[in-house]
Chain A
Amino acid sequence: MSDIAERVKKIVIEHLGVDADKVTENASFIDDLGADSLDTVELVMAFEEEFGCEIPDDAAETILTVGDATRFLEKNAAQA
């Protein structure tokens, strides 16, 4: 697992208070991890803070799973 994937996973576990083994690549924040829509906004804010990047609203709307977040951030970090 990449460094970014590890950090994403850690944030998700902390923020949503879920077991680590549930936070798989394909886990949906809302359907599998019990997040509500405000939680997803807060997760995006937490990602922005952790990775020092801006996640625009239209991109944020496409981040539905743990893997979505990791892929977006890996791409963004590469551009930075």
Chain B
Amino acid sequence: MFDLSGRFALVTGATGGIGGAIARALHAQGATVALSGTRREALEALGAELGERAHALPADLKDPAAVDALPGAAEAAMGGLDILVHNAGVTRDNLFLRMKDEEWSEVIQVNLAAGFRLYRAALKGMMKRRYGRLIGITSVVGVTGNPGQGNYAASKAGLIGMSKSLAAEVASRNITVNCVAPGFIESPMTDSLNEKQRDGALAHIPAGRFGAGSDVAGATVYLASAEAAYVTGQTLHVNGGMAMI
């Protein structure tokens, strides 16, 4: 089950904790992967670690032209594009009353608008080949909201609504569009919490621990697989039970 041999996958934000785990998992299942991110050295290091079937494709998702070109570049590098995981995301947290226009627009641009452009560019080939897996990494806060993250929650909720609409448009072409919504995942951000903050967060997680990148990667591999052909327009929550929705 979940064999991805012969499939071609593009992952944005591949140098992050979650993105790296997703890229490793897709690769481990046999997929050829195109790794995208802004840090060229980190991408090349991950590519070297994975060895064969890995391509580093640096791109700045704040640049619309670069975003438009990325799926084509991935297809050219790998020889196809079956799976696209839009995982790249930024935060610019601030209280709503203090939020700057730039903080709003940068988060929307990278997390949501780049997803729109990537999906649009990838769709043509997927429609022709009658196969595709589009997966957006959203967030539990896109569904629950979170104080200080009006921009981030809006972008992640937007990704869910966009995915549902597109899922309805292209389901008949054997293309599925889904989201994975992580909760608290171990990362430099959770590492920087003090003990009180950490305990406060854990009190809301029935599983009693933060998630690992591999937890998110497992859900992503499932949605990327042939076995998930009849699952579309869905959001798979990976949050240890902190929000059951």
Contact = CB atoms under 8 A, between A and B. Distances in A.
Nearest to B127: A42
A38 B124 contact: no
A38 B128 contact: no
Interface residues of B, number: 7
A41 B123 CA distance: 11
A45 to B, nearest CB: 6
A77 B33 CA distance: 39
A45 B172 contact: no
B133 to A, nearest CB: 18
Interface in B106-145: 124, 127-128
B170 interface: yes
B128 A45 contact: yes
B184 to A, nearest CB: 39
Nearest to A49: B128
Contacts, number: 10
A26 B124 CA distance: 28
Interface residues of A, number: 4
Main secondary structure of the interface of B (DSSP, over half): helix
Contacts of B173: 38
Contacts of B124: 45
A37 to B, nearest CB: 9
A12 to B, nearest CB: 17
Contacts of A45: 124, 127-128
Contacts of A41: 127
3 nearest CB pairs, A to B: A42-B127, A45-B124, A38-B169
Interface string B169-181: 1101100000000
Interface in A1-60: 38, 41-42, 45
Contacts of B128: 45
10 contacts: A38-B127, A38-B169, A38-B170, A38-B172, A38-B173, A41-B127, A42-B127, A45-B124, A45-B127, A45-B128
Nearest to A48: B124
B121 to A, nearest CB: 13
Given A38-B170, A41-B127, 8 more contacts: A38-B127, A38-B169, A38-B172, A38-B173, A42-B127, A45-B124, A45-B127, A45-B128
Nearest to B172: A38
A51 to B, nearest CB: 16
Nearest to A41: B127
Nearest to B123: A41
A52 to B, nearest CB: 15
Nearest to B169: A38
A45 B128 CA distance: 9
Contacts of B170: 38
A42 B124 CA distance: 8
Contacts of A42: 127
